[in-house]
C-alpha cells in the first residue's frame, strides 16, 4: 500500500548519488509535500498510502502544466524547459491514463443507461448543470484512470448527440 512513497524516498538517494539535480529537486519537493500531508492529515506510520501519494503527484503535475503554459507565453524558455523536465519525472510515477476513445465510450454507455432508466432527460435539464453533474459522476466512476479534461470533453460531445 505504501510502496510509492518508499520508492520515491529511495530514488532521492539514487538521484543524489547520480548528481541528477533536476530529479533530486523534484523528488525532494514531492517528499516535502508528502511530509506536509502526513502532518496535516495525522497519518501514522512512515509512509503515505499510495492513493494520497497519487493525489499529491497529480496536483504537482497540474501545477507544472500551468507553469509551463505561463512560462511559454512571456518568460525565458529555460524556465519552461525545467518545468517540462520535472513534469516528465512526476508523470513517471502516475499510472497511465485511459485513452480518450475509451473514456468517451464509458461516458456514452453511462449516459445511455441513465436515459434508458429514466433518470436523465437531456432535453429538459439545463445543459451547464447537466454537464457539471455528469462530469462529476464520471470523475468518481473513473477514479483516477482518466484525465478530468477528457471526461468533461467526452460528456459535452456525447450530450451534443442527444
Nearest to 147 by CA among 110, 106, 116, 117: 106
How confident is residue 1, by pLDDT bands cut at 50, 70 and 90?
very low
Q: List C-alpha distances in Å: 141 to 68, 77, 91, 106, 115.
A: 30, 38, 22, 10, 17
Residues contacting 59, CB < 8 A, separation 6+: none
Contact 137, 113 (CB under 8 A): no
pLDDT one-digit tens code per residue, 38-92:
999 887 888 888 888 988 998 999 999 998 888 888 767 778 888 999 999 999 9
pTM (two decimals): 0.68
119, three cell numbers = 433518470
Q: Which residue has the higher pLDDT, 25 or 114?
A: 25
- Distance, in Å, from the CA atom of 64 to the CA atom of 75, rounded to the nearest integer, reads 15
* Beta-carbon-side half-sphere exposure of residue 153 (alpha carbons within 13 Å): 11
Amino acid at each position: 500500500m505504501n510502496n510509492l512513497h518508499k520508492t520515491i524516498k529511495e530514488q532521492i538517494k539514487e538521484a543524489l548519488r547520480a548528481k541528477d539535480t533536476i530529479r533530486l529537486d523534484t523528488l525532494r519537493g514531492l517528499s516535502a509535500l508528502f511530509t506536509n500531508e502526513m502532518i496535516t492529515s495525522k497519518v501514522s506510520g512512515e509512509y503515505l498510502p499510495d492513493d494520497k501519494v497519487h493525489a499529491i503527484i497529480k496536483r504537482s503535475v497540474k501545477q507544472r502544466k500551468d507553469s509551463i503554459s505561463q512560462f511559454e507565453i512571456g518568460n525565458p524558455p529555460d524556465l519552461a524547459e525545467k518545468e517540462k523536465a520535472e513534469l516528465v519525472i512526476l508523470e513517471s510515477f502516475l499510472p497511465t491514463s485511459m485513452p480518450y476513445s475509451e473514456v468517451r465510450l464509458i461516458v456514452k454507455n453511462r449516459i445511455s443507461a441513465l436515459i434508458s432508466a429514466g433518470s436523465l432527460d437531456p432535453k429538459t435539464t439545463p445543459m451547464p448543470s447537466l454537464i457539471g453533474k455528469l462530469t462529476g459522476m464520471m470523475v468518481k466512476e473513473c477514479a483516477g484512470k482518466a484525465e478530468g479534461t477528457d471526461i468533461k470533453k467526452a460528456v459535452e460531445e456525447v450530450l451534443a448527440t442527444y
